[in-house]
Each structure stands twice: as structure tokens, then as C-alpha cells.
Amino acid sequence: MSLEAVFLGLIVLPLLGGCLAFLSRPLALPANLVVAVGQLICAFELARTVMAQGPLSYKVGGWDAPLGVNLYADGLTAMMLVMVAVVGGTIVLYTAGAMRSIKDDTYDQQLFWPINLLLLASLNALFLSGDIFNLYVTLELLTLSAVALIGLVGTVDALTAALRYLLVAISASLLYLLGVALLYSIYGTVDWHLLGDQIQVDQVKGDQASLLAIALIVSGLLLKTAVFPLHFWLPPAHSSAPTAASALLSALVLKASFYIILRLWFSVFPYAEFQNAGTLLTTLGVAAILWGSLQAINQTQLKAMVAYSTVAQVGYLFLVFSLASDAAVAWDAWSATVLFAVSHAVGKAAVFLAAGSLQYATGSKQIDSLAGIAREQPVTVLAFATAGVVLIGLPPSGAFVAKWLLLQSAIASGQWPLAAVILTGGVLAAIYVFRVLSLSLLRCEPRESCEPRETRPVPRLMQYATLGLAIVAITLGMMASPMMELLKVDAPFSANPFSADPVSVSTFREVAP
């Protein structure tokens, strides 16, 4: 497979599949399945090539920057694309099992398929974008898809949550776009490679217009990432959406806006000049870990608990902005943050899918209704427990490796309060995870001691898709070494064996061995 086909396949294939799913309902599920397989092949092929050849670029239409649109892939890009392919493909299987066996007359289930493919195309295009304006365009497409998924059920709660998210996202996008316009007016380019070179040369620290532009961009992205205290829209949105949509939103959509922050902060903006701002971002992350965990513990509804858990887990991603200020641990902190983002995406998607299955089985949103449910739903409870290991950060999960590296970085750099927060967050996560598991494993002898109820069977495809994703999440720790090697390709802080100049895909065949 040519790399031109890989680049374009990751974007064009889900777009074509989405159009087909919209025009022909009988072909909607086959189109999603074909796209899911195609994404896996393209994402892993791109990761393999990046690992072997270094960073890659593709000039759309043959036009080079600053006039043309460039697609770009390095180790970070490849990691994000594999994450989307694995999580997105599993959610397609889960939803196929749900729609095949569960008929829900409250909304048109078939509408999920084209929206899902538009969301996946937007994510892939975002991660491949080589300039900050295309990041804005793809981010807007992603937002529209997410809003549609949240309001898909059509209930008052879902529509209210969707409208709130839409208003927040539009406001955040306006801030981001204003920042992009300011940077373009100053530097005359939106290509983030060229922009980074010029910003570094021009000593942005004394440039008030550039500082304002950076502040606007980061503020808009923080709102989209739902870091504390800007998280007010997230719990209602994620808990009101259909289960598959909740998994997509928490696992993938939030990672897109954080990816942009991470990319711009360390590859474009002069982060060394912004230590105070980095400390502020880390402070927000610390508050998110503690506040989100406490709110998750206090919830009475299962999906609401998982949604507040997302608020807490997002906080770990923002510890990097203080930890990376110490050059001795910068690489460990940065790579651990990416590993944690990927691990959280896979694990949180599995937790949401398991939670949705348990809610369907019991017919209730309440956590208390799960008493003894492991007897009727052992596979789903096992999937929840396995993915819960990721939320807590226990071995052998990728989250454990990531938290261990973050903990080592905090201790080595003398930032002991951050080390304490990392440990405390794990303990708090264990409280709300084990609360669900203890109820699920409750033995009711005699049976009359439990509240009488009738449980519904969960389709096997839903059960085993969830369990499979949970197993992937828990085994990421064993794949941490090759993942770290992939991340070294054109990454900040690393001893990068590749040139910073990306290989052009259009000439790839000429340089391939």
C-alpha cells in the first residue's frame, strides 16, 4: 500500500463511508465495518513506516507551505491514529451488537452510523493536520459531530446537554480562531513548523500581540478539553448521550483538543518562556484530579460517576506543563503524558461501554441497582473490573507505566506536591471503582435479601467487544517500550534518530530501500 493511499485513506475513506451510510441505511453498518478495518490497516501501516523512515509529510495538491495544505505524521501522530482506529473499531462492533438485538424506539438508531464516520474522519484529519488553521477546521467538524451524537436520543436532558456543549464549543472555537488570525497577521503563515521557527527567532516573550494570540488559542482549547473549572459541560453531555457516543466523546474527542495544546505548547510556542503559565495549567490539572475524583465518589448514577472520572483523569494530562520545565525529566514527563492519554482513551471507552451494558441489563441508571449483577453479567463486570485497573493505575496497565514515570519525574524534579497528588488520585479512583465492583459481586443469600428485579440479557457482541477493549487497555503496559520508541520520532526532548525534516510522501518510493 502506498503512503499516499494511507494518508488519504485515513481521511477520505471514513468520509465516503459516512456519505454511503447516510444515503443507504442497509449499507450503513457494512460501511462502518469496512472503514473500521481500513482504519486499522492504514493506522498501523503509517506507524510502521514512521518508525522505520521518520516523520512524513504529504502536500495536498502538490502545493507546499505556506500556500498549500500539508499533512504531517510523526510518532505522536501515528500513536493518536492507532488509538482512534482501535477504539473506534471496537465501538462499531459494540454498537452493531446493540442495534442488532436491542430495538430502541426513542430515537433513530441508524443516524449513529454516518455521524460516527464523520467524527472519525474529523479526528484523523485533525491528527494529520500540518497547520493551525486546518486544526481549527477539523476541530469544528469534530464539534458538530459530537453535538449531534450527544443529542441523538432526543430527550430533554440530552438536548439540553447538547445545546450547552454547542455554545461552549462555539465560544472556545472563536477564541482559538482569533488567536490563529493574530498569529497569521504577525508571521504570515499558519504552517506550525514554519510558525514555530519564526516564533522562536522573534523572541515572543516581549511581543504582546503574540502573547495575546497564544493566550486566546490555549484558552479556547482548555474549554474544549474540559479541564477544571471549565468542565461544567462535560458530565451532563457524557452521561446523557447514548453509550457508544459517551465512549467516543470521553475517549477520543477530549484527546483531540489536548493533543493540539500539547503539540503547540512544546513544538511551536516557546514553552521555556512560559513557566508561570505552565504552572497555572498544572494547578488546574491538580484541582481536576482531586475535584473530579471526589465528585465521582459522590455520584449515585453509574454513567455520571464515569463522566466525573473523566474530569479527574484529564487532570493528569496537565501535570506535564510543570514537570517538563525540568530538562532532566522533560522527556519522561512528555512521553508518559502521551502514554497516559492513549491508555485512558482505551480504558475509559471500555468503562463507558461496560457501564452502558450494565444499565441496560438492570434497566436503571442507579449504582445501587447493580447489587449482585455479576451473577447475571459476569463478562461485563469482568470488563468493567479490567478497565477499572486502568483508571486506578495498577500494573500491568499502560496507565501504571505512565503514572510511574510521572511520579518519578515529580520526585526527580523535587515537585513533591505533584507526586502526592498522583498517589492520592489513584487511591480516590480505587474508591469509586471498587464501590461498583463490591456491589456487583455482592452475594445475596438468601436471594430475598436483595431487591427483587428482572435483568435483561446483554448481547454477546456487546459483552465481548467491551472485554476485548478492556484487555487491550490492561496490556498496554507490556507494549510501553515499542510505544516509547515510536514517540521518539521527531518528538521534543528526545534523542531523536531522525532528521527534523519530514520525508515527502510524494517522493517516498525514491528513498525507500
Mean pLDDT by 10 residues, the chain (513 residues): 79 91 88 92 92 84 65 91 94 87 62 91 92 91 91 83 90 93 87 80 66 91 90 85 89 93 88 80 94 93 91 93 87 92 94 91 86 87 92 91 93 91 94 91 60 73 92 90 89 59 46 33
Distances (CA, A) of 203 to 199, 214, 270: 6, 13, 8
Query: What single DSSP character describes residue 455?
Result: P
Per-residue pLDDT, 503: 56
HSE-up of residue 145 (Cα within 13 Å, Cβ side): 26
Query: Which of 173, 146, 168, 169 minimizes the C-alpha distance to 158?
Result: 146
Distances (CA, A) of 161 to 170, 226, 238, 239, 252: 14, 14, 9, 9, 18
Per-residue pLDDT, 511: 32
Q: List CB contacts of 248: < 8 A, sequence separation 6 or more.
A: 87, 88, 91, 116, 119, 146, 149, 349
Please tell me the distance from the alpha carbon of residue 347 to that of residue 383, in angstroms, as a whole number.
10
Per-residue pLDDT, 64: 65
Map grid coordinates 492507532 to a residue.
82
Per-residue pLDDT, 190: 85
439: part of which helix (H) or strand (E)? helix 416-440
Q: List CB contacts of 195: < 8 A, sequence separation 6 or more.
A: 132, 183, 187, 189, 268
Distances (CA, A) of 489 to 3, 69, 78, 497: 17, 22, 10, 7
Per-residue pLDDT, 512: 35
Tell me if the bond preceding 14 is cis, omega within 30° of 0: no
Please tell me the distance from the alpha carbon of residue 365 to that of residue 302, in angstroms, as a whole number.
6
114 neighbors 133 (Cβ within 8 angstroms): no
Please tell me the distance from the alpha carbon of residue 381 to that of residue 513, in angstroms, as a whole number.
49
Per-residue pLDDT, 506: 45
Please tell me the distance from the alpha carbon of residue 488 to that of residue 486, in angstroms, as a whole number.
5
Q: Which amino acid is at 326?
A: D
pTM of the shown model: 0.91
Please tell me the distance from the alpha carbon of residue 356 to that of residue 110, in angstroms, as a whole number.
18
Per-residue pLDDT, 509: 35
233 neighbors 164 (Cβ within 8 angstroms): yes
Taking the CA atoms of 86, 362, 246 and 313 in sequence, report the sign of the dihedral they define.
negative
Map grid coordinates 490563529 to a residue.
180
Query: What single DSSP character describes residue 372?
Result: T
Per-residue pLDDT, 242: 86
Per-residue pLDDT, 207: 74
Per-residue pLDDT, 450: 56
Residue 16 phi, psi dihedral angles, 5° rounding: -65, -40
Residue 371 phi, psi dihedral angles, 5° rounding: -55, 120
Query: Which of 150, 335, 146, 156 minimizes the C-alpha distance to 225?
Result: 146
Burial of 230 (0-12, 13-18, 19+ CB in 10 A): middle
